[in-house]
Structure 1
Amino acid sequence: MNPSRWTSTRTLGLWAVCAAMLLAGCKTVHSPAPVEERATSASQVKPAAAPEAAKPASTPAATSGDARPATYTVKPGDTLMRIALESGQAWRDIARWNGMDNPNVIEVGQVLRVMPPAAETAVATKPVTPPKIETKPLDAGTKPAASAPAASAAASASVAPAVPAKDNDDDVQWAWPAAGPVATPFDESRNKGLAITGKAGDPVYAAADGRVVYAGSGLRGYGNLVIVKHNATYLTAYAHNQTLLVKEDQVVRKGQKIAEMGSSDAERVQLHFEVRRQGKPVDPTKLLPPR
């Protein structure tokens, strides 16, 4: 081969290789860009989960130091009056707490609230001292007004407004409810109070200041019964009376005559007297002053 021709051919080949390399360098290779998730609208943005709301604390059974349960399940033979006595409450309060239209209708298995709702201040039953009435001596020849006894009765039957209970409900000034001897002492299993004997018509007195929460004969085994609530902790029961001298919601004072002794639903004339602390019977002689 002619040397000059071979050189020319080799030069053309090199040019061809260079041209190919240049073309390859000019070509852009497109690789997929990384995917980034973005919200396209506010509605597509998922908010962070909110922390779970704290559950409300359960309603305490009672105030500090009170072991009574907040509810009671009705059993065969129960009446609202007996449930109220056993729970240490006024039957009207229990009826109100449970929205009962007819307190005489309760069903076995029904769950009743027997403590005040958390939103309601406990109903206090401490009596309010009635206002003093100024008395003046009558002029000579002036007869007393005929309406005076009625006014006195109306004053004694006044209803005291609810007032806050004291911190120490055990600070109650007690007195004996009758003057007769104790025939049967307290026995929690057989006799939940004291049997105080006497004659028919003997006076029965309120053992402490309080308010009458029941006066009637609707509780089997108690005859004509008066129940007085003294504060959020204590109530007293006076059973087998011949005559009741007070009405429900009436404020009474320690030593006030509230009934006359009898033998209603009993075999002999006696006063069955109970003291209940938070609904539980306690020995009255441990609270009453020594004779």
Structure 2
Amino acid sequence: MTSSFHFRPMVLMASSLALLAGCTSSPRTPAPVEDRTTMGRSSTPTATPAAEAPKPLPGSENAGKPGYYTVQRGDTLTRIGLDNGQGWRDLARWNNLTNPDLIEVGQVLRVSPPGGAVETSGVVVRPIASSGPSSSVTTQDNAGNKEPTKESASKPNANANAQAMQFIWPSQGKLISKFDANNKGIEIAGKKGDPVLAAESGKVAYVGESLRGYGKLILIKHNGYLTAYGHNDKFSVKEDQLVTKGQKIAEMGNTDADAYKLKFEIRDTAGKALNPVTLLPQR
């Protein structure tokens, strides 16, 4: 009885050791990893959808054509108008811009009147009086019949609107900066509050200070020209207002400038800057 009692625990212990030895000697196989990203889907890779082609910008079909301009980084409608001899309101109308502050780089804008029409300022321009004789006189023949007789008639100038412009100096101060390759206008010295006058009759195309280098600026559109008046202190006119030659439009200031002075420019309808001195009376 005694020997049997001691043998059974030893048998149980030996069995346990055998099981432990079997567990440690057999390599452990890892559980399979389940890929849930393809569960319920075909194993065939799907094609990536092609990206949509970007929509062309407004007016892109007119890029490079005469009378059109491609918007560059930093442009504003006012700047584009000044550089092309037009008012920003005209540009907005020609290009159907509901918000003139929203233009995109690469967008192509019409910068000349549609159909080649000549935009007028709404002001009747006085033609230059002819210094020669009238174009025709009337004589009588022996029968008393009146017949027109042509004499040295003056031929009309093809550029009548431009010829009719008779600009005056917009300020009586001293000329301190001349027109050159780097300066698109002239500068006239003065003191704060000096009157700034419209150099010719026209329609106010812009009043504001959104263009760097001009301060408080006024643009006036004439028949064939655009005049610019910069660095003002106070405005005396508003946009779309008709003004007459010699009318006070502002007071001289030093906005965006190092002294009290007037920055004056004349542009043609293509935006080309002209030397104002050649179009102003000598003094």
- Compute the TM-score of the two structures, normalised by the length of structure 2: 0.63
Task: Give the C-alpha shift of residue 218 in structure 1.
Answer: 1.5
1:187 aligns with 2:180: yes
Which residue pairs with 2:85 in the alignment? 88
Alpha-carbon separation, structure 2, partners of 1:264 and 1:245: 16
SS state at 2:91 partner: helix
SS state at 2:200 partner: coil
Task: Give the C-alpha shift of residue 98 in structure 1.
Answer: 0.8
1:220 aligns with 2:212: yes
1:209 aligns with 2:201: yes
Which residue pairs with 2:235 in the alignment? 244
Alpha-carbon separation, structure 1, partners of 2:267 and 2:193: 25
1:123 corresponds, among 115, 119, 130, to 119
Q: Deviations over 1:234-267 (max 9, x none)?
A: 1100000000100111111111110000000111
Which residue pairs with 1:275 in the alignment? 266
Alpha-carbon separation, structure 1, partners of 2:282 and 2:159: 26
Instruction: Tell me how large the CA RMSD over aligned residues is.
Output: 2.0
1:111 corresponds, among 100, 108, 111, to 108
> What is the percentage of aligned positions where both structures have the same residue?
53
2:257 corresponds, among 261, 266, 272, to 266
1:175 aligns with 2:168: yes
Alpha-carbon separation, structure 2, partners of 1:214 and 1:169: 22
Which residue pairs with 1:74 in the alignment? 71
Which residue pairs with 2:43 in the alignment? none
Task: Give the C-alpha shift of residue 168 in structure 1.
Answer: 1.1
Alpha-carbon separation, structure 2, partners of 1:237 and 1:186: 14
Alpha-carbon separation, structure 1, partners of 2:282 and 2:118: 33
Alpha-carbon separation, structure 2, partners of 1:117 and 1:185: 35
1:290 aligns with 2:274: no
2:247 corresponds, among 247, 256, 261, to 256
Alpha-carbon separation, structure 1, partners of 2:111 and 2:204: 18
1:196 aligns with 2:183: no
Does structure 2 retain, via aligned residues, the 8 Å contact 1:74–1:110? yes
Alpha-carbon separation, structure 1, partners of 2:85 and 2:255: 23
Which residue pairs with 2:50 in the alignment? none
Alpha-carbon separation, structure 2, partners of 1:73 and 1:199: 40
Alpha-carbon separation, structure 2, partners of 1:277 and 1:122: 12
List gaps (5 residues or longer) in structure 1: 1-58, 62-67, 130-165
Does structure 2 retain, via aligned residues, the 8 Å contact 1:72–1:113? yes
What is the total number of aligned residue pairs between the two structures? 187
Task: Give the C-alpha shift of residue 123 in structure 1.
Answer: 2.5
Alpha-carbon separation, structure 1, partners of 2:124 and 2:277: 27
Does structure 2 retain, via aligned residues, the 8 Å contact 1:126–1:209? no
SS state at 2:266 partner: strand
AA of the residue aligned to 1:184: S
SS state at 1:169 partner: helix
AA of the residue aligned to 1:260: E
Task: Give the C-alpha shift of residue 167 in structure 1.
Answer: 5.0
Which residue pairs with 2:4 in the alignment? none
Alpha-carbon separation, structure 2, partners of 1:116 and 1:192: 24
AA of the residue aligned to 2:217: L
SS state at 1:81 partner: helix
Which residue pairs with 1:46 in the alignment? none
